[in-house]
Amino acid sequence: MKKIFAAALVAAATTVCVGGAQAQTGLLGQIKTKGVLTCGVGPGLAGFGIPDAQGVWSGLDVDLCRAISAAIFNDPNKVKYIPLSSKDRFTALQSGEVDLLSRNTTWTMSRDTSLGLNFAGINYYDGQGFLVRKKLGVDSALKLAGASVCTQQGTTTELNLADFFRANKMKYEVVAFASADETIKAYESGRCDAFTTDASGLYAERLKLSVPADHIVLPEIISKEPLGPVVRHGDDNWLDVVKWTHFAMLNAEELGITKANVDEMLKSENPEIKRVVGTEGKFGEAIGLTNDWAYRIVKHVGNYGESFEKNVGTGSLLKIARGQNALWTKGGLQYAPPIR
Amino acid sequence: MSTIPTETAQPGRASLFYDPKIRGYVYQIVLIAVVGFLIWSAASNAIENLRAQKIASGLGFWHNAAGFDVNQKLIPFSASGSTYGQAFWVGLLNTLLVAAIGIVLSTFLGFFVGVARLSSNWVLSKLAMIYVEVIRNLPLLLQLFFWYNAVLKPLPDARNSIALPGSIFLNNRGLILPNPQFAPAFQAVVIAFFIAVVAAIAFYTWSKKQQERTGRQYPNGLISLGLILGVPLLVYFIAGQPLSFELPQQGRFNLTGGLQIFPEFVALLIGLTTYTAGFIAEVVRAGILAVSKGQTEAANALGLRAGPTLKLVVIPQAMRVIIPPLTSNYLNLTKNSSLAVAIGYPDLVQVFTGTVLNQTGQALEVVAITMAVYLTISLVTSLFMNIYNKRMALVER
């Protein structure tokens, strides 16, 4: 008996030590060994991350997971998607249940500094808005005094809402639900006069209403919501991989490298293109990948503009204009540091 | 070791190692040490990891500004001045409110259905049976969604409120009542109420003694009711009616002013009450069936009518069987109230474990506090029910 107990103690102690040693080799190494990337995504938001009838995920946020998978494995499908509610997302990332979070998460200072997390870029510039019934005859959020507003709980949305009504000295009533589904249902049943979330979310959730055309998004955008991928604090190499995957997609769009022409681009003499597709320099190796990492991303997933148009832009049901999310060269905010 | 046979022959001088009592203690100490070590290492591991990942920890968030709003609040709370700590109290009070009212209502409904199931009236007993079987076999969450939609759907929107007599309005934002405004003189009414309660208890004790001495019975219920209602009412008029009402006014969207009872609260209360009542009904039925039929027959033989038989003979004996499982149902109701999160009722789980956790990101602390709260509520409920159970238990002489 005693021997067994001692053996168990020793075994337990060694497991603890091995566990400690593994953590030091870096998340990228672990993902390569596991052969799969675990990606935390939203529980279903059209255009950003939603599974179809076959359980295949698609969307702008999902494309980032696919791009990282393509960069690591030369295969965009080695991703395990974990749907996370806004309430659970940070805990899931902190506890290591997911390797990264790619689900409309707003970059705020407190989240960046006190949650043990790092934001790895902004893949969608958004702002909070309001959805109301057309027949209410309200054309501005400033006329919502006394209104009842439905929102999803545990988000920056709740805070902006309180700030907005307080700043404009208007009274209101908030009804908060755990999931986006319940929120939009309550709005539709007439429990609330307005539904509020990020503007992108308003367009996506409006599709769930029985007659989407009866509802309008008010012009006021009451907050800045820079949405982007998030990783755990303390693994700089992994942060680089996620960050530069997004930048590679932006640089590809800027240089006109598309899914269709990426193979031809391998023969390009343009030094900027050569550095992106990996025929010049060792940029991929510097972040622990192969030098053709960006080529793989564009080849399998496409550049940022392609992903945008397909998921939320003109090629999708959402039909959101590029707006602030256009490249900086076209008057938008999307700006990637150069690959050099 | 060869001398063992001679030693075991003298039990008082056995080696300490083989003494069952000592061994028992040693095992207990080892077990406690192992469990203690596991808890300690888990806690220190968690603290170290939090520190390494630069995740904020500790209870510093308690006094930070909350910055969000809650619709139903029993204490003042606003986005501008309140803290996460106050948000905790708002959520806790909402949980306790719905649990307390739910426990009272489900007890009444459960007793009624339980007795109805044993009724000799065929229709009544079958209806009670259908109620119990349907309610017990459907998930509570589903029932909450049903009630929430059932409460909301038939109600008109805020602009077409149903106006009830007495400036009461009903719409899909809730039931809006005139908001009572208490003048300082109203204190006298409150004091009168408490005096009346004390008087009623005193009268009850006196009448019991009288009954034991002379056998004469007094209408205790009626007299108590008269005292508790009549005395405060009298004082109210003497003090010059120190109560006015703020009437709801039609605003652009909603009615403003007035006291609002939210549909989320109503739906949650109906859901919890009907669900728990289904279980309580079965507990009551089992309790009544556990009282041997001979007891009723004996009571009848003594000339007691059906009412007093039930009240004085059957129910007191059934209570001994009923109370322990009844306690479990009360605890379940309280814990189930956390499903409120699905229908937007701001209970403890929604406000604290939902919004506060998400705004602060301090999952460990917030979840630990919530667990401690539910544990405390449950233990306190158990304690009171156990005290009640002790008083009701069979006293053997």
CB contact (8 A) between residue A190 and residue B172: yes
Measured between CB atoms, which of A150, A190, A233 is closest to B54? A233
CB contact (8 A) between residue A162 and residue B355: no
Q: What angle do CA A43, A49, A55 make, to 5 degrees?
A: 75
Identify which has the larger pLDDT, B128 or B227: B128
Q: Is the pLDDT of residue A9 over 50?
A: no
**Of A11-25, B15-29, B100-114, B211-225, where does the model show the most confidence?**
B100-114
- Tokens coding B318: 């059934």
Average pLDDT over residues A29-54: 93
Q: What pLDDT score was predicted for residue A87? A: 81
Instruction: From chain B, pick out residues whose CB is under 8 angstroms from the CB of A144.
Output: 253
Q: What pLDDT score was predicted for residue A7? A: 46
Q: What are the residues whose beta carbons fall under 8 Å from the beta carbon of A165, sequence distance 6 or more? A: A144, A171, A172
Per-residue pLDDT tens for B49-78?
A: 888 777 777 888 899 888 898 988 888 898
Average pLDDT over residues B389-394: 80
Instruction: From chain A, pick out residues whose CB is under 8 angstroms from the CB of B263.
Output: 191
* Nearest-neighbour CA in chain A from B364: distance (Å): 9
Q: How far apart are the C-alpha atoms of B106 and A63, rounded to whole Å?
A: 51
Measured between CB atoms, which of B55, B68, B158 is closest to A158? B68
Q: Is the pLDDT of residue B239 over 50?
A: yes
Per-residue pLDDT tens for A56-74?
A: 999 999 999 999 999 999 9
The ipTM (two decimal places) reads 0.77
Q: What pLDDT score was predicted for residue A21? A: 38
Instruction: From chain A, pick out residues whose CB is under 8 angstroms from the CB of B173.
Output: 148, 173, 191
CB contact (8 A) between residue B56 and residue A114: yes
Average pLDDT over residues A133-137: 89
Identify which has the larger pLDDT, A11 or B226: B226
Q: Is B312 helix (H, G, I), strand (E, B) or coil?
A: helix
Measured between CB atoms, which of B56, B67, B350 is closest to A162? B67
Instruction: From chain A, pick out residues whose CB is under 8 angstroms from the CB of B90.
Output: none
Query: What is this structure's pTM?
Result: 0.80
* In chain B, % of residues over pLDDT 90: 40
Q: What pLDDT score was predicted for residue B5? A: 52
Instruction: From chain A, pick out residues whose CB is under 8 angstroms from the CB of B53.
Output: 94, 116, 232-234
Q: What pLDDT score was predicted for residue B10? A: 52
Lowest-confidence region among A176-190, B168-182, B244-258: B244-258
Q: Is B13 on the interface with A (CB under 8 A)?
A: no
**What number of other Cβ atoms are within 10 A of residue A145's Cβ?**
15
- Tokens coding B198: 């004390």
Give the model's confidence band at A14: pLDDT under 50 very low, under 70 low, under 90 confident, else very high: very low
CB A217 within 8 A of CB A202: yes
Q: What pLDDT score was predicted for residue A137? A: 87
* In chain B, % of residues over pLDDT 70: 95
Q: Is the pLDDT of residue B373 over 50?
A: yes
Average pLDDT over residues A206-220: 91
Q: Is the pLDDT of residue A16 over 50?
A: no
Measured between CB atoms, which of B53, B153, B346 is closest to A116? B53
Q: Is the pLDDT of residue B7 over 80?
A: no
Tokens 């707006």 identify what position? A323
Q: Is B37 on the interface with A (CB under 8 A)?
A: no
Q: Is the pLDDT of residue B13 over 90?
A: no
Average pLDDT taken over every residue of chain B: 87
Q: How far apart are the C-alpha atoms of B107 and A7, rounded to whole Å?
A: 55
Identify which has the larger pLDDT, A217 or B9: A217
CB A269 within 8 A of CB A312: no
Q: Which of B54, B72, B253 to mutate to probe the A interface, most A CBs <10 Å?
A: B253
Instruction: From chain A, pick out residues whose CB is under 8 angstroms from the CB of B251.
Output: 146
CB contact (8 A) between residue A158 and residue B173: no
Q: How far apart are the C-alpha atoms of A160 and A127, rounded to whole Å?
A: 10
Tokens 């006190």 identify what position? A114
Strand partners, A79: A37
CB contact (8 A) between residue A146 and residue B254: yes
Strand partners, B177: B259
Q: Is the pLDDT of residue B388 over 90?
A: no
* Nearest-neighbour CA in chain A from B343: distance (Å): 6
Per-residue pLDDT tens for B130-188?
A: 999 999 999 999 999 999 988 777 888 777 788 887 778 888 888 888 887 777 878 88
CB B116 within 8 A of CB B128: yes
Give the model's confidence band at B393: pLDDT under 50 very low, under 70 low, under 90 confident, else very high: confident
Lowest-confidence region among A30-44, A213-227, B17-31: B17-31
Q: What pLDDT score was predicted for residue B396? A: 66
Lowest-confidence region among A29-38, A132-141, B268-277: A132-141
Q: Is the pLDDT of residue B123 over 70?
A: yes
Give the model's confidence band at A336: pLDDT under 50 very low, under 70 low, under 90 confident, else very high: very high
Amino acid symbol at A312: V
Instruction: From chain B, pick out residues whose CB is under 8 angstroms from the CB of A174.
Output: 68-71
- Tokens coding A261: 């022409």
**What number of other Cβ atoms are within 10 A of residue A292's Cβ?**
17
Instruction: From chain B, pick out residues whose CB is under 8 angstroms from the CB of A110.
Output: 361
CB B257 within 8 A of CB B247: yes
Q: How many CB pairs under 8 A join A and B?
A: 122
Q: Which of A5, A97, A136, A177 to mutate to probe the B interface, most B CBs <10 Å?
A: A177
Q: Is the pLDDT of residue B316 over 70?
A: yes
Phi, psi of B34 (to 5 degrees): -65, -45
Instruction: From chain A, pick out residues whose CB is under 8 angstroms from the CB of B358.
Output: 86-87, 90, 153-155
Which chain A residue has its CA at the smallest distance from B46's CA? A95
Average pLDDT taken over every residue of chain A: 89
Give the model's confidence band at A12: pLDDT under 50 very low, under 70 low, under 90 confident, else very high: very low
Give the model's confidence band at B45: pLDDT under 50 very low, under 70 low, under 90 confident, else very high: confident
Q: Is B79 on the interface with A (CB under 8 A)?
A: yes
Per-residue pLDDT tens for B349-359?
A: 999 998 898 88
Instruction: From chain A, pick out residues whose CB is under 8 angstroms from the CB of B254.
Output: 146-148, 173, 193
CB B293 within 8 A of CB A183: no
Q: How far apart are the C-alpha atoms of A100 and A41, rounded to whole Å?
A: 9
Measured between CB atoms, which of B52, B68, B361 is closest to A115? B361
Q: What pLDDT score was predicted for residue A22? A: 39
Measured between CB atoms, which of B79, B152, B341 is closest to A162? B79
Give the model's confidence band at A24: pLDDT under 50 very low, under 70 low, under 90 confident, else very high: very low
Instruction: From chain B, pick out residues whose CB is under 8 angstroms from the CB of A87.
Output: 354, 357-358
Which chain B residue has its CA at the smallest distance from A189's CA? B153
